[in-house]
Structure 1
Amino acid sequence: MLFLFLLSMFLLACENDNDDKNDVEKNTGGELIFVDPSVSLQPIDGFGASDAWRVQFVGANWPLEKRNAMADLLFSQKLKEDGSPEGIGLSLWRFNIGAGSAEQGLASDIGNSWRRSECFLNEDGTYDWTKQAGQQWFLRAAEERGVESFLGFVNSPPVHYTKNGKAYSPGGTNINLEFGRIPDYAELLATVCQHFEQEGLAFDYLSPVNEPQWNWDSPGQEGSPATNGDIASILRELSPKLEEKNVQSQIVVPEAGELQFLYGDFGNAGREDQLHAFFNSSSSNYVGDLSNVKKVALGHSYFTTADVNTLVDVRKTLGNELNSNGGTAGFWQSEFCILENAPDIGDGWGRDLGMGTALYVAKVIHFDLALANAQSWSWWTALSQGDYKDGLIYLDNGINENGEPLDPGAESLKNDGYYRESKLLWALGNYSRFIRPGMVRVKSGFSIPKSETFQASNVMFSAYKDPVENRLVLVFVNYSDSDKKMTIGSIGETFNISGDQFDSYTTSAEKSLEKGEMPAESIIIEKRSVVTLVGKME
């Protein structure tokens, strides 16, 4: 009898534990959450992607109809007849200001021609503004479709100014510039910004270094290291150059190769602790007093996402460091793609048009916003011809029976081919299309707190308000294999939704930002999906 009693207690305990883990399925009321639009957190500056490197060929050579179709997917804010978005409405576009490896060809030592870039500066010191024509086409297409901000970024100084005459470093930790060339480099960047401003395509932001922690001493692509001292010296030359030319671009730094370099020392002496180096007035490399330096620290989320504990801890630490620095600088996550080997999606090799990578990246976006308080978030490259998880739209000459691209390095692909949407494109759109510049993240969470590691394999959500239109935007990421019901307990207390109904936009294996409607009192988030809810507050 005692055995039966103990067995029944054990089974009851197991059932209760199962209830805790699957409370949405067991509780008909769903998971209780709260949103408080009266508590504002970080402002949102935008969501973006870059034009490196494939846009140079697609924008210059591909049929116009296909170029416009891809531009619509990336930039359009229009709606289809059924109310679903035509594109993901990026609000930030990163333009790669090239170093001139393309003109060098094989002499650049960069074997992959898709990774070379042209340079506006000629060897004789004159400028050729017809260069980078494909990128300029997409820049114009972005402007025509209402993209709010443009950012010019540099991987390497121009080959005419580097120590080795190449767009990669000869070695060491300092920037690859000949001695005394920093003023010339600053003049080049200011001139490029001046030109595009005169063309009506102004770079709102200018980033003069990229991932300065890496030595970039092999010719895989354009790149250069830089110490904190190098960066400060460049900014002190560049800032007055921009002012002299009456250019409105704001300078942004440092595009750290990993987020930890923003707040700590990780074996890169002189290239670490960059949040404090550039934005703490006691630092010898302080640049926060320069009028055209935007007070945000840019970093890349690479190599911090495969392990969920690292994903959470790094972003919590960064968020705390931003707060402890007295709010003198914000944070932009300015570049990310899949470089690690993650248990749920594998490594970067093998492009993925489906929901696996889309959900993984949506999870990263969520924690970058919710824990690190990112004010802006950008994917690495908009277009990719490689068999790699680095694109939003993929290019190929056809696919084999396994869905793999045929001959991704083919020269013919520089002129035409197939383009394919990824679910990652649309999952990014769950954020970029609806969370617009000027909006603010607001306080939200689970009424019964859930650990971040638990959320990472179940449901994550964040909330944003448009203070002008008085709209509320909620973004849910359901990583689990079951539908989840959510109940907003704070409706009627801290806010109401007009008509008691949200417009919903779902990205899943079957849907791509598909428009629907969702009762405010009964929210269902489909399994393995990203769902955005938009409602008018009253």
Structure 2
Amino acid sequence: MNFRICLFLFLLSVTISKAQETKNEISVTLHPEVQFQTIDHFGASDAWSAQFVGNWPEAKKEAIANLLFSQEMKQGNPEGIGLSMWRFNLGAGSAEQGETSGIKDEWRRAESFLGNKGELDMSKAERQVWFAEAAKNRGVEKLLLFSNSPPIQFTKNSKAYSSDGRSNLKTDAIDDFSDYLSDVVSGLQKMGLNPGYVSPVNEPQWDWSDGGQEGNPYTNEQIAELVKGINTSFQEHDIKVKIDVAEAGKINYLFEKADKPQRGTQVKSFFDQKSPTYLGDLSNLSNVISAHSYFTTSPLDKSADLRAKVASTVASIPGLNYWMSEYCILGDNEGEIRGNGRDLGMKSALYMARVIHQDLTISNASAWNWWLAISPYNYKDGLIYIDKEKKDGRFFESKMLWVLGNYSRFIRPGYQRIGLDVSNEKLMVSAFQNPDTKDIVLIVLNSNPTSELLKIANSDTKWIKAYITDENSNLAAIEISGSLQEIPKESVMTFLISLD
């Protein structure tokens, strides 16, 4: 074979290789001029383990707090996931009742701030307070108090759950419960904490009669009556905190009655001025409707359809925002993934990332919250897993922790989601812009068993850095260069991009 033929075959192979490479490239075009929701926060809750882990050795508590809250870098990598909201479980007092509470699992009971004689006692729940202070000390500016049940002193059966699937709050105790919330907010403020939100109702669609945990059902009418009472108390006590409603058990209860006619269509019920349960004119009401993403995430097309309905329903009320305020992997999810069984690996983390992506890009959620920050259970409900020990034990980082960090650590409150086009649906891609620097955070989810090549089509962009979470890395920093970036299989990557 002569030289010319060899050269021709070499050049042909290069051309074919380049053509194949170009064909396999996935191109993203950013549209900063197309703007969507402004992000309020990413968060998780202290239920229920903080009450025990707060009693663990100081070094372990500090290490767990760093993983959840730190925005610092350690040897070039994020030390933690930098949550921007901490959700404080405002217990009803089942912990003080012990076994007589009717809640069999001690770890699902919760302490209140009421003493034996019904007086306010801010020395209680001190181990939960420790984590709230640890969050504040690490730059977490937002603190929300959520109540699964009114304090047992204000319930019909003196328990922290319902006996009959109906609201357990005494009809004449709305003012007592409202003033209690005012007193707790004031008490925490005196301790140096600064609650910004109170969520007095949690998953009101469920009956909460099995004693599995603290809980209380409400109709929309009962929620409206309670929230009006809280608003009056906040005004009388000069409490500036916002009231969050209504932590719906599933997102479809926001836009339809479904199987709970008196507890559904909550967007219209609380924010349509024509509704008899309208709350939108209350001084302390947040301009947010909140719901939980449980039981609505599979299959993918159905999940997308439900979230599109949330977005359109919320958009029908000018100025209203949507918070996805609680999620972990429950049920069997149409056979895609089961909630049972602890998973520290990428399977659960990739599923979580898919839910985050859809909630942000279809529902237009301005906040996204995981359920248990710290879990002792054999379930897919934790960011950090622990031995179920009250005074000391081991703790384990999950990939779900670090995948959430791909979002929470870099998409800060005030960032705005922007438009983009993706040439191939193999990757789930979203983009958020820093309002000050105009730099862009690009999140790329690759759930595929093969790697993909990504290219930004905009000519005025410059890659700054990337962070990857996959089977081998936990939000690890990667130096990048060139126009093409490899997105490894089964990974989530965060790119920091500047616009020239």
TM-score by length of 2: 0.94
Structure 1 residue 75 and structure 2 residue 43: aligned?
no
SS in structure 2 of the partner of residue 90 of structure 1: coil
- Equivalent of 1:110 in 103, 110, 114: 103
Which of 179, 195, 206 aligns to 2:198? It is 206
What's 2:375 paired with?
384
- Equivalent residue number for residue 533 of structure 1: 495
Contact 2:272/2:317 (<8 A) preserved: no
Q: Residue 32 of structure 1 is aligned with which of 3, 23, 27?
A: 27
Q: In structure 2, give the amino acid aligned to 1:56.
A: Q
| Cα deviation digits, residues 47-99 of structure 1 (max 9, x gap) | 0000000110001x100000000000000000012x21000000000000000
Secondary structure class of the residue paired with 1:382:
strand
1:92-111 matched pairs, under 5 angstroms: 92-111=85-104
Alignment of 1:77-92 (within 5 A): 77-81=71-75, 83-92=76-85
> What corresponds to 1:470 in structure 2?
438
Cα 1:483/1:168, change in 2 over 3 Å: same
Q: Is the 1:29–1:486 contact (alpha carbons within 8 Å) kept by the matching residues of 2?
A: no
1:309 maps onto 2:301 in alignment: yes
Tell whether 2:473 aligns with 1:511: yes
Which residue is 1:51 aligned to? 46
Q: Secondary structure at the match of 2:77?
A: coil
SS in 1 for 2:333: coil
In 2, the alpha carbon distance for the partners of 1:291 and 1:480 equals 48
Matched residue, 2:456: 488
In structure 1, what residue type is equivalent to 2:31? D
The DSSP-based 3-state class of the residue aligned with 2:120 is: coil
1:251-283 Cα distance to aligned partner (Å, 9 max, x none): 100000000000101110210000111111111
Cα contact 1:502–1:520 (8 A) shared by 2: no
**How many residues of Structure 1 are paired with residues of Structure 2 in the alignment?**
483
User: Match for residue 425 of structure 1?
Assistant: 401
Q: Which residue of 2 aligns with 1:5?
A: none
Task: Extract unaligned runs of 5+ from structure 1.
Answer: 1-23, 397-407
Q: Is the contact between residue 279 and residue 328 of structure 1 (CA under 8 Å) also seen in structure 2? A: no
Per-residue deviation, 1:368? 0.2
Tell me the CA shift for residue 204 of structure 1: 0.6
Corresponding letter in the other structure for 1:36: H
Taking the aligned partners of 2:393 and 2:336, their CA distance within structure 1 comes to 27
Instruction: Look up the SS of the partner of 1:429 in the other structure.
Output: helix
Q: Secondary structure, in 3 states, of the residue corresponding to 1:519?
A: coil
- Identity value in percent: 44
Give the Cα–Cα distance (whole angstroms) in 2 for the partners of residues 328 and 195 of structure 1: 32
Structure-1 separation of matches of 2:238 and 2:401: 37
- Taking only aligned residues, the RMSD between alpha carbons, in angstroms, comes to 1.6
Q: Deviations over 1:263-322 (max 9, x none)?
A: 101110210000111111111111110121111110000001132222111111111212
One-letter code of the match for 1:197?
Q
Equivalent of residue 213 in structure 2, options 221, 239, 243: 221
- Distance, in Å, in 2 between the alignment partners of 1:196 and 1:516 is 41
Question: Is the 8 Å Cα contact of residues 279 and 295 (structure 1) preserved in structure 2?
Answer: no
Residue 285 of structure 2: aligned partner: 293
Match of residue 321 from structure 2: 330
Which amino acid letter does the alignment assign opposite residue 36 of structure 2?
A: L
Structure 2 match to 1:62: 56
Quote the Cα distance in structure 2 between the aligned partners of 1:430 and 1:111. 37
Aligned amino acid, residue 532 of structure 1: T
Answer whether contact 1:302 1:337 (CA < 8 A) is retained.
yes
1:133-532 map, 5 Å: 133-173=126-166, 175-323=167-315, 325-342=316-333, 346-396=337-387, 408=388, 413-446=389-422, 448=423, 455=425, 458-489=426-457, 491-492=458-459, 496-497=460-461, 500-519=462-481, 521-532=483-494
Letter in 2 for 1:305: T
| Between 32-41 and 156-165, the greater mean CA deviation after superposition | 32-41
Q: Specify the SS of the correspondent of 1:215.
A: coil
CA distance in 2, matches of 1:520, 1:101: 58
Q: In structure 2, what is the Cα distance between the partners aligned to 1:224 and 1:199? A: 29
User: Is the CA contact 1:306–1:340 (under 8 Å) kept in the aligned structure 2?
Assistant: no
**Pair 1:520–1:40, CA change in 2 (3 A):** farther
Alpha-carbon separation, structure 1, partners of 2:148 and 2:485 = 45
Structure 2 letter corresponding to 1:525 = I
The 8 Å contact of residues 345 and 356 in structure 1, kept in 2 or not, is answered as: no
Q: Deviations over 1:458-514 (max 9, x none)?
A: 31010000111222000011000111112222x12xxx23xx323100000000000
Match of 2:11 in 1: none
Separation (CA, whole Å) in 1 of partners of 2:294 and 2:398? 20
Contact 2:30 2:420 (8 Å CA) reproduced: yes
**Match of 1:508, as an amino acid?**
D
Offset, 1:242: 1.2
1:344 to partner: Cα distance = 6.9
Report the alpha carbon displacement of residue 521 of structure 1 after superposing the two structures with TM: 2.2
Q: CA deviation at 1:235?
A: 1.2
Q: What are the superposed Cα offsets for residues 233-257 of structure 1, whole Å, 9 maximum, x if unpaired?
A: 1111111211222222111000000
Instruction: Please report how far the alpha carbon of residue 343 of structure 1 lies from its aligned counterpart in structure 2 after TM superposition.
Output: 6.1
